Amino acid sequence: MSALLFRRVLVATESAPPAEADVLIENGIIRGVETRGFAEHEIPPDTRIIEGGGTKILSPAFFDPHVHLREPGKIAAETIQSGTEAAINGGITGVVAMPNTTPAMDNGPMVKNACDIAARTARIPVYVCGAITKGRQGEELAAIAAMKAAGAVMISDDGDPVENPQVLRRAMEYARDFDVMLASHCETKVLSGPGAINEGRHAYKLGLFGTPALSEELCLARDCRLAQFTGARLHIQHVTTVRGMRTIERYKNEGVRVTGEVAPHHLLFIDEDIGDFDTNYKMNPPLRTPEDRAGLLEGLKSGLFDCIATDHAPHTDFEKKREFVAAPNGITGLETAVVSLFHHFILPGHFGWDLLVRRYSAEPRRLIGLPPATITAGARAEMVLFDPQATTTFTRAFMKSKSVNTPFLDKTRQGSVEMVVLGEAVLKG
C-alpha cells in the first residue's frame, strides 16, 4: 500500500468523543488528519479512498495484554499464527501471550523460541509473558533474568496462583530488581476446591460445588500486600468481584504499584447464564453475580480498572463438549471483544469510544512500556475502521481461531471490524 485516504470518518481518541476528519496515510505513516478534508492536489495518485460517510469509526488498533496461544503444546486448539489471525479479525494488532504452554514458558530459550515462531508466522507483534516458577508448579523460581533478556515483558503463572507466599515474595523481589512486571492469577486453591461455577444459588440449583468469591479476594489482598512490602510492580489479572476491585483501589491509594484488568465476559455475563451446564460459560475465575457485574462496569468507567483483557482461552470442541465439571475452563475472546463491547455498552450509551480506546488500546500498551497507537500526523498507521451500522455474525466460517468455545457462536451483534491497518499493510479489508 502506497497511499490510503479515509474520508469523512469519525476519529476516535482516548481523551474525547470521535470527531469527523479525513486521514491520509502514505508509506505506513499518517501524513495528516484534516477536519476540512484534503485538496485534490494533496492526494497522491493511485490513492485508495475509503468513504466513512460521517458514521464509520476510525480508531487506534486495539491491544490485548492477556491471551493464550497454546503453542507449543496444544496446537490443536490454537497456534501463534491462528491466534494472531483471530486478533486481526477482531481489530487487535498486538497481544501478550501467557506462559501456560506445554512445556511451560519458564526459561530464556523457551521465550526466544516463542518470539522466533511469532516473527515467522504472525502478522502482528506478539509479546511473551514468562512463568514465575519452574513448570508453573509454584515451588522454584523460573529464570526471570534470562527470560527478560530473551524478550519477556512480564511474568505470571496464569492459570494457577503462586500459593506459597515466600516463593511469591522472592519472585517479586527479583521482578523488582530486574524491572519486570509480575501478573497474578488470584485464587486460593483450598477454597476453590473442585468448583466449576460461582458459589451461590445457581450452583446449588445445578448441584455443583461452587467457588466462592473469597477464594479470589483473599489471594488478591495477599498479593497486593506483598507488592506493597517488596515494591514490585503487580498486575492483577481477570478481576471478578467488587470487593477485589476495591482492594486494588485501596492499595493504589496507598502508593502501591498495582494495576488491574477486567475481562469482557465478566462485564457481560453472570453465573445464571450457564443455564443447563453450557460449558461455553465455564471459566476460571467464574462468572459472578449481577451485583458484581454491575460493579465491575462502574469500576471500568471510573478508572479503577487500568485495562480490558480478554483472557482468550481456546479449547477444542472435544474438550469443551465433555461433562461440565470435567470440561476445561476458558472461552475465546479476541474476535468478539470489540464488537460485543460496542453492542452492549457503547451503542446503548453506557460508555463511549474514548473509554474503549483508553482501556483496550492505549493503557494495555502502556502497561508493558509501549507507546499508545494514535491517529495523529507523523504517527505510524495502526488503526481499525469500524462500521457501527453493519452487523457481525460469529459463525465458524467467520472465526479465524482454531477454536470456537464462545457464548457468541452463531449469534449476531451490531457493529463490524471492517478494516485493520498496521504500517504499510492492510491486514483486513
Q: Which of 152, 150, 102, 159 is nearest to 128 (CA)?
A: 152
Determine whether 311 is an active site residue.
yes
Task: Read off φ and ψ for residue 246, nearest 5 degrees.
Answer: -70, -30
**Looking at 223, 292, 311, 387, which residue is catalytic?**
311
Judge contact between 113 and 150, C-beta under 8 A.
no
Q: How many CA atoms lie within 13 A of 223 on its CB side?
A: 30
Active-site annotation, residues: 311
